[in-house]
């Protein structure tokens, strides 16, 4: 029998990669989208005709219940969120509604309609925030440093509570930073790769960034969605850290990105205080031993490979646009 999966946040980076993976595995994919006059199909345009789109909203309990009742998915991947950390400072209440309470609405809808549905919650390394141990693993205490991180902690713990209280197959994946060409331009990695391409093509002359010393555990999003799928194939639900186990600074990302196009990063990067966070997260690096041992998951893409992939994709994108203008 063909499996049916509901993916929230399907038009985002992770949702698009996960949908592709599920389609390749023979799933029927339901993509939950909010009703708007325009929808950004950019990340899924090359396969959107293979997806069944359903209108729903994490702010609206009735719409979630209706989708689960009408379409009866066997798996639900909750990837939708207000996920940009700086915006969470500007809109902390809305971030809480989407990223925290929205998880409860989905879990409660599963409890009511079909407790046998397997549920994946997209937790985040931002929950660790001001880290209390290095590397961070499933048992590391959380110390979030942004409204986004706080909301993710709520979503993580409500998932555990519903799992233990209602015997749901509810799993959280604590994914460390995962990037790629489909990342939004507001995120620092894509901001860098896009700016490098613009500078190389003569379309810009500088790149303004915040804290260059911030260190992250960066992997490739396409590798990480495989871990999400593997979690829901296990007999028992659990929580897993997904990470490369290596940490690199924003400065290192810049060095590699500019080097890819033969430029000296120090000639173009400008540190701008307006891009510093109110409360910085200085160091994140994950221990994914459990995911590697239980799920058999391993990252396939190196840090340098990721940077090169992103710069090459932005160069191709911008060169294509320039040819279209010419």
Of 27, 77, 148, 220, which one is the catalytic site residue? 148
Known active-site residue 77: no
Of 75, 126, 179, 252, which one is the catalytic site residue? 126
Beta strands in the chain (DSSP E): 4-8, 28-33, 52-55, 75-78, 118-124, 169-175, 178-179, 207-209, 215-216, 219-220, 239-242, 248-249, 269-271
- DSSP-assigned letter for residue 275: G
239: which strand partners?
A: 172
- State how far the Cα of 308 lies from the Cα of 210, in Å rounded to an integer: 22
- State how far the Cα of 148 lies from the Cα of 310, in Å rounded to an integer: 25
Of 124, 125, 146, 193, which one is the catalytic site residue? 124
Q: Is the dihedral of CA 273, 278, 279, 284 positive or negative?
A: negative
Known active-site residue 148: yes
216: closest CA among 242, 249, 189, 191? 249
- State how far the Cα of 221 lies from the Cα of 225, in Å rounded to an integer: 6
Q: Is 190 exposed, middle or buried (0-12, 13-18, 19+ CB in 10 A)?
A: buried
Known active-site residue 125: no
Neighbours of 91 (CB within 10 A): 15
Q: What are phi and psi of 201, to 5 degrees?
A: -90, 5
Catalytic machinery residues: 124, 126, 148
């Amino acid at each position: 029998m063909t499996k049916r999966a509901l993916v929230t946040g399907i038009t985002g980076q992770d949702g698009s990669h996960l949908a592709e993976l599920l389609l390749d595995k023979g799933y029927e994919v339901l993509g939950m989208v909010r009703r708007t006059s325009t929808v950004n199909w950019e990340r899924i345009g090359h396969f959107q005709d293979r997806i069944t789109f359903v209108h729903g909203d994490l702010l609206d309990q009735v719409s979630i219940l209706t989708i689960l009742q009408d379409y009866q998915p066997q798996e639900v991947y909750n990837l939708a969120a207000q996920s940009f950390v700086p915006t969470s400072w500007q809109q902390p209440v809305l971030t809480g509604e989407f990223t925290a309470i929205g998880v409860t609405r989905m879990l409660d809808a599963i409890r009511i309609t079909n407790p046998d549905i397997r549920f994946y919650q997209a937790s985040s390394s931002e929950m660790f925030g001001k880290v209390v141990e290095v590397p961070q693993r499933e048992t590391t205490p959380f110390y979030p440093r942004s409204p986004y991180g706080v909301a993710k902690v709520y979503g993580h713990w409500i998932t555990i509570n519903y799992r233990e209280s209602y015997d749901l197959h509810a799993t959280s994946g604590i994914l460390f930073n995962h990037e790629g060409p489909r990342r939004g331009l507001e995120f620092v990695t894509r901001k860098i790769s896009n700016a490098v391409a613009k500078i190389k093509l003569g379309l810009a002359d500088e790149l303004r960034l915040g804290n260059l010393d911030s260190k992250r555990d960066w992997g490739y999003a396409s590798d990480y969605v495989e871990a999400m799928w593997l979690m829901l194939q296990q007999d028992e639900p659990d929580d897993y850290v997904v990470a490369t186990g290596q940490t690199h600074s924003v400065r290192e990302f810049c060095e590699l990105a500019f080097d890819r196009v033969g430029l000296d990063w120090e000639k173009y990067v400008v540190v701008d205080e307006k891009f510093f966070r109110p409360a910085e997260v200085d160091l994140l690096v994950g221990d994914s031993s459990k995911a590697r041992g239980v799920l058999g998951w391993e990252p396939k893409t190196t840090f340098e490979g990721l940077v090169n992939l992103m710069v090459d994709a932005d160069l191709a994108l911008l060169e294509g646009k320039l040819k279209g203008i010419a």
